[in-house]
Amino acid sequence: MSVARGSLYRTVQRTRNRGLTGLYLLVAALLVAYVSLFPGVLSLAGFSRFTQNWFPLALVTMAQALLMLNGGISLSIGPLVSLGAVIAATTMSGPLGVPGGIVLVAVTGLGVGAVFGTIVALFRLPAIIVTLAGSFIVGGVALLVLPKPGGMVPAWFSDALAGQYPTAFLLLLLVIVGWKVFMATPTGLGLYAAGDNPLGAFRSGVRVERVRIVAFALSGLLTVLAGLFVAAQTGSGDPVIGAPMTLNSIAGAVLGGVGFLGGRGTMRGALAGSLLLAAMINVMFFLGFPPVAQYVAQGLIIVAAVAVPELLSRRQRA
């Protein structure tokens, strides 16, 4: 390995990119194929449309990766997306208006996440079960808020978020900057540390419980914001619209090389994974695959994405 040429920062970043080269190449190849199949994506409207399909997936993948890096997992991503969508659709056209609706959605996400995190951290229950039980509760609340698809998001707000301008892409950049800033704080670093080795992190002064609760709260925030965006995209709310998001969020994070046991993986990998998934879904949609064939392909691709690097690394060791 070459010795650090630039700053320490660059060296660290290079190390963190290691193992992701294959993924980046795959994503690049898929995007090239995509552009050659549908040159329209290069126009402003086409680019906006494509990033709008990617945006909610990117948000929930980040929400899932955030927890997985901390050694947790959430099976309530889907219902929480739905909850964000129905709250947005029922409040924004009411007296609270759009700003009030956004605040209410954000507070709900932070609150639900914090409650899950508190139960996991303080009562020492496994995250997978708490969020599994929680998915019923959150899904039920979404049904109470809006029993049938309906509600409304003001048209100007839909146009601003999911119109012909790439607002979604700019928002995603903003979220990524936010993640970078968060990773520069002690809590952000503690997130990785507590995921990799909770006891070691605790002995080094990381407040493991608090970090876990913060991780769940932030994850909840990202998830409901994805729901808010979906509501703006469709112009209305649907209490079960988030259902496929749970699997997709896990798939995106795993494709991006984020490990289940905590502390392994990077957010850039997870984002690349979600982009891969989004491009894949788009391509299959445009090629006229029936939605069910997408399931088959998705299942195969996820297994391959995990198995191939593992088999390659085993061959290298042997």
Partner 1 sequence: MNRSLVTRVAAHPWVLTLVLVALVWIVAGFTLRGFGSWGHLRYLLELSAVIGIVAAGQTLVVIAGGIDLSVGAVMTVSAILLPLLSPADDPTGLAGIGATLAIATGIGILNGAGAAYLRVPPIIMTLAMATFLQGLLIIVAGGSAVSVSNPAVIWLGSARPLGLPAGVILWILVSAATLYALHRTPFGARLMAIGANPIASRLSGLAVDRASVRLYSASGFLAGVAGILLLGMNRQGYAGIGDPYLLSSIAAVVLGGTSILGGRGTYAGTVPGAILLVTSTALITVVNASPGWRSIMFGSLILALLLVSGREARR
CB of 96 to partner 1, least distance (A): 22
Based on CB atoms, which residue is closest to partner 1, 25 or 303?
A: 303
Based on CB atoms, which residue is closest to partner 1, 97 or 290?
A: 290
Would you list the DSSP string of the chain?
-PPP-S-HHHHHHHHHHTT-HHHHHHHHHHHHHHHHH-GGGGSHHHHHHHHHHHHHHHHHHHHHHHHHHTT---S-HHHHHHHHHHHHHHHTTSTTHHHHHHHHHHHHHHHHHHHHHHHHHHH---HHHHHHHHHHHHHHHHHHH-SSSB----HHHHHHHHSSS-HHHHHHHHHHHHHHHHHTSHHHHHHHHHHH-HHHHHHTT--HHHHHHHHHHHHHHHHHHHHHHHHHHHSSB-TTTTTTHHHHHHHHHHHTT--SSSS---HHHHHHHHHHHHHHHHHHHHTT--HHHHHHHHHHHHHHHHHHHHHHHHHHH-
Assign 124 to helix, strand or coil.
coil
CB of 270 to partner 1, least distance (A): 14
Based on CB atoms, which residue is closest to partner 1, 140 or 186?
A: 140
CB of 90 to partner 1, least distance (A): 14
> Which residues of this protein are in contact with partner 1, per CB under 8 A?
73, 119, 123-126, 128-130, 132-144, 147, 247, 250-251, 254, 260, 290, 292-300, 302-303, 306-307, 310-311, 314
Instruction: Determine whether 69 is exposed, middle or buried from the number of CB atoms within 10 Å of its CB (0-12, 13-18, 19+).
Output: buried
Based on CB atoms, which residue is closest to partner 1, 41 or 302?
A: 302
Overall residue count recorded for the chain in this entry = 318
C-beta of residue 274 within 8 angstroms of C-beta of residue 245: no
CB of 46 to partner 1, least distance (A): 28
Based on CB atoms, which residue is closest to partner 1, 12 or 144?
A: 144
Based on CB atoms, which residue is closest to partner 1, 52 or 61?
A: 61
CB of 242 to partner 1, least distance (A): 14
Based on CB atoms, which residue is closest to partner 1, 163 or 309?
A: 309
CB of 155 to partner 1, least distance (A): 28
Selection from 13, 27, 75 nearest residue 255 by Cα? 27
CB of 128 to partner 1, least distance (A): 7
Based on CB atoms, which residue is closest to partner 1, 31 or 143?
A: 143
CB of 143 to partner 1, least distance (A): 3
